[in-house]
Structure 1
Amino acid sequence: MIDTRFIVWDNQYLEDAIQLYIDVFTDEPWNDVLTYEEIKLYFDRLLAMNTFEGYLTLDATGAVIAASLGFIRPWFRGVQYHLDSFYIANAFQSKGIGGAFLDFVKADLAQKDIPNIALDTEIGYPSDFFYRKHGFSSNPDSVTMYGNTKLKK
């Protein structure tokens, strides 16, 4: 595997993590249209949460090549980690780094007595297969729904 180092979130890497987020999610297969301002605001909001938990992967030069962004939330069985974003630079995908990084995140959360991780992703995308390969499964009795706050008239 490529020489990497996994660390708990460090704000000194904020700008690099933002740029990597934009690079990854504006590329295939996501093809999102993103601006720096909206992604910076997303990061600012996550970092302002007192339950934020983040992790980074650095390459041999100290550059950010992967990030995990999430937060601890209440759950009827205690608490769980909501994995909001997990992304790896395209050039480093399919090299075993993502699995090793996810193992690092799991180990750190387990040490903090956080027994479960919840996430959502797009069905049929590479991320779907990645998470299933690493022990995640979907709940057949659950569905993720979205709605807006506009009232019906």
Structure 2
Amino acid sequence: MTNTRFIAWENQYLEDAIQLYIDVFTDEPWNDILTYEEIKLYFDRLLAMNTFEGYLALHDTGTVIAASLGFIRPWFRGVQYHLDSFYIASAFQSKGIGGAFLDFVKNDLAQKDIPNIVLDTEIGYPSDHFYRKHGFSSNPDSVTMYGSTNRQK
């Protein structure tokens, strides 16, 4: 594993984290079509939340190689961390960095007395396998649903 350090979010790395997000999610297997403007707005909205919690993995060169973006939200049993985005530069995937980074995030949240992480991912994608490998499971009694706020005509 490369010389990597994990830190809590620092705004000085915002542009690097945005560019890495675009690089990762426009590549396989996601193949998203993304613009800088929409991803910058996504980051701005997350960072504006008073419950935002983010983390970064930095290569020994100071380059951002992974990021974890999320927020703390109320839950009927207290609070939980909603892991909105967790991504790693493709050159650093499958090297143990993602698991070590996730452990760092889990440990930091545990120290903040946040007992659970909830997230959404695509079934069958590498992310699904990654999270399962690291102790996450799906809830068979739950489904993610989407609905529009536009009136149906």
Q: Does TM, normalized by the shorter one, top 0.5?
A: yes
User: 1-side partners of 2:15 and 2:148: how far apart?
Assistant: 30
Consecutive unaligned residues of structure 2, counting only runs of 5 or more, are none
What do you get for the CA RMSD once the two structures are aligned? 0.5
Instruction: Tell me the amino acid that sits aligned with residue 119 of structure 1.
Output: L
TM superposition score normalised by structure 2: 0.99
User: 2-side partners of 1:88 and 1:146: how far apart?
Assistant: 27
- Residue 60 of structure 1 corresponds to which residue in structure 2? 60
- Residue 84 of structure 1 corresponds to which residue in structure 2? 84
Q: Does 1:3 align with 2:3?
A: yes
After the TM superposition, which residues 96-111 of structure 1 pair with which residues of structure 2 at under 5 Å, given as runs? 96-111=96-111
Instruction: Tell me the amino acid that sits aligned with residue 83 of structure 2.
Output: L
- Residue 12 of structure 1 corresponds to which residue in structure 2? 12
User: 2-side partners of 1:147 and 1:139: how far apart?
Assistant: 21
User: 1-side partners of 2:81 and 2:57: how far apart?
Assistant: 19
- Residue 112 of structure 1 corresponds to which residue in structure 2? 112
> 1:152: how far off?
2.4
- Residue 27 of structure 2 corresponds to which residue in structure 1? 27
User: 1-side partners of 2:152 and 2:87: how far apart?
Assistant: 37
Aligned length: 153
User: 2-side partners of 1:152 and 1:39: how far apart?
Assistant: 29
User: 1-side partners of 2:81 and 2:68: how far apart?
Assistant: 11
> 1:89: how far off?
0.1
Instruction: Tell me the amino acid that sits aligned with residue 84 of structure 1.
Output: D
- Residue 135 of structure 2 corresponds to which residue in structure 1? 135
> 1:126: how far off?
0.2
Q: Deviations over 1:19-64 (max 9, x none)?
A: 0000000000000000000000000000000000000000010100
> Helix, strand or coil: the match of 2:70?
strand
4+ residue stretches of structure 1 with deviation over 6 A?
Answer: none
User: 2-side partners of 1:147 and 1:100: how far apart?
Assistant: 36
**Identical aligned residues as a percent:** 89
Instruction: Tell me the amino acid that sits aligned with residue 128 of structure 2.
Output: D
Instruction: Tell me the amino acid that sits aligned with residue 110 of structure 2.
Output: A
User: 2-side partners of 1:2 and 1:63: how far apart?
Assistant: 12
